[in-house]
Copies of this chain bind each other. A is one copy, B any other.
Amino acid sequence: MTTFSELLQKRRAIRDFEDKEVPLKVVEEILQESTLAPSASNNQPCRFAVVQCRKAISNLSNESKANLLRDHKDGKISLKTEYVSLLQDENFNVFYNAPCLIYIAGAKSVGSLDVDVALAAGYIMFSAAARGMGTCWVALGANIRDPRLRAELGLDDNYRIVAPIILGYPRTIPAPPERHAPEILRVITEAR
């Protein structure tokens, strides 16, 4: 039984995983819990694709890396220099060799898709941490355009991937990254 204060300490971005598969049943339990996340007008727009094959995950990493580098070269996006070197390294897997990858996507037409998916992603992170597992939202892994790969994920053109979440059993747990105090701009206690 994990308390919320414990979870707050345990939920950490994990990028180093044990060589141990995640049973599909556990993934399904985690996704089931994520359905309790709120969404705008209770619209529940999240759709999931689960990848549990390292070769497939590696292919998706290569596809996303290639698209990011192309967009950068074409001036459509501007990547920091350190990211460019990382993406050019063919040994770099954006998914850190995780045993499981969950894509959270949804219909492009849903105006609140980004925040709805992010709220569900937060539930997945906590739900995994409560089971002693680790997750990381890997934004660099979202750029999947190859129609064959998208079809394999069940994502037609109406879907947009918002959150690629890796999942597994942590091998090492990094020190918590520094956080600044909450920046409270104003406290209004009386109408002026």
Contacts and interface: CB of A to CB of B under 8 A. Distances in A.
Interface of A: 1-5, 7-8, 11, 13, 24, 28, 31-38, 40, 42, 44, 46-53, 55-56, 59, 105, 112, 114-119, 121-123, 125-127, 130, 137, 139, 152-155, 162-163, 176-192
8 contacts: A35-B181, A37-B122, A47-B183, A49-B185, A53-B190, A53-B191, A115-B118, A152-B186
Contact of A117 (B13, B53, B115): B115
A118 B177 CA distance: 20
A189 B53 contact: yes
A93 B55 CA distance: 53
Contacts of A42: 177-178
B35 A182 contact: yes
Contacts of A137: 38, 40
Contacts of A36: 8, 11, 176, 179
B152 A188 contact: yes
A155 B37 CA distance: 29
